[in-house]
Structure 1
Amino acid sequence: MKTFTAQMSVRRGRWRLYVVLFNTAERWPEHCFGRALPVPTFTERADALSLLGFEPEPGAEWTWTEDTEIPDDPASAVVLIAALTVRSWTGALS
């Protein structure tokens, strides 16, 4: 089964979760949580993935990476990006 990377970050003051689709012109599946705080819970993230037709790969864990809004500027605001390996949801309708 093919795997994908789901990522979650804050954009325009709201957390959003999206699934990265390489080598396609298709729009990436995305879910907006509509808030900055609190950070979406594990359950909320799993529910959002399910709505998008994906589920975590067995044994996968969320990893968090720190980035900056302005590359190479140490004074730039920090951007947190979470990532998880996912697969198409086995219960999804074809």
Structure 2
Amino acid sequence: MSGQQMAREFTAQMSVRDGRWRLYVALMNTTDAWPEHRFGRTVPTFTDRTDALSVLGFEPVPGAEWTWTEYSETPDNPASAVVLIAAIRVRSWSGVSV
């Protein structure tokens, strides 16, 4: 890429705890703190999420879409509270050294 370093890809995830949403980029195989953005109590819109990623120095990989997964807070208990986790592939664009 003629002197330019290729953008590295990561997984960004969004989850809710205590009624507040947070978005973070999972930086595997590193001791660096994971970049994180906290939202309020409403579900962040697509634009809110994209803007938060941008502030953190990332953008969705072209063609990537958010996927939503449902987990039980207490495995093997069908009455357990549900935890939603959203994920999307992202790439660093701002020279973030990760």
Please tell me the residue identity of whatever aligns with 1:44. D
So what's the TM-score if we normalise by structure 1?
Answer: 0.89
Letter in 1 for 2:33: R
1:4 paired residue among 2, 10, 14:
10
Which residue pairs with 1:50 in the alignment? 54
Counterpart-to-counterpart distance in 1, 2:75 and 2:29: 25
Unaligned 5+ residue runs, structure 2? 1-6
Tell me what 1:59 maps to: 63
Aligned counterparts, 1:1-94, within 5 A: 1-35=7-41, 37=42, 39-89=43-93, 92=94
Query: Counterparts of 2:35 and 2:89 in 1: how far apart (Å)?
Result: 14
User: Aligned partners of 2:48, 2:90: CA distance in 1, in Å?
Assistant: 15
How large is the RMSD of aligned CA atoms in angstroms? 1.2
Cα drift, residue 56 of structure 1: 0.2
**TM-score of the superposition, structure 2-length normalised?**
0.86
What amino acid is the match of 1:40?
P
Runs of 4+ in 1 over 6 A off after TM superposition: none
CA distance in 2, matches of 1:72, 1:27: 32
Shift of 1:12: 2.2
Identity %: 73
Deviations 1:40-92 (A, max 9, x none): 00000000000000000000000000001112211100111100000002xx2
Aligned residues: 90
